[in-house]
Amino acid sequence: VSIQMLGRTIEQTFPASISITEDSVLVQGEYQLTHADLGLEPFSLLGGAMAVGAEIDFTYRLRANVVAQ
């Protein structure tokens, strides 16, 4: 997948579970990126006393259903 952020395009691969039935396709999974993967620095305040974690968790579920015509 291509991720576009802050004028950069980053190519990433990620795991997926794919289920196909008569009337639908379901793709789902989860993965983790770091701020560095995206060319970002983690947000922090007070000289680093308060900061967000370095990792960003993604969970996705995509479903496509057959539409009767």
pLDDT in tens, 3-28: 887 788 888 888 899 999 999 999 99
What's the mean pLDDT when you consider all of the chain? 85
What is the structure's pLDDT at 8?
80
Mean predicted confidence (pLDDT) in 42-51 = 74
Residue that wins the pLDDT comparison between 30 and 41: 30
Distance from C-alpha of 60 to C-alpha of 47, rounded to nearest angstrom? 34
- In terms of phi and psi (left: phi > 0; alpha: psi -120 to 50; beta: otherwise), the region of 24 is beta
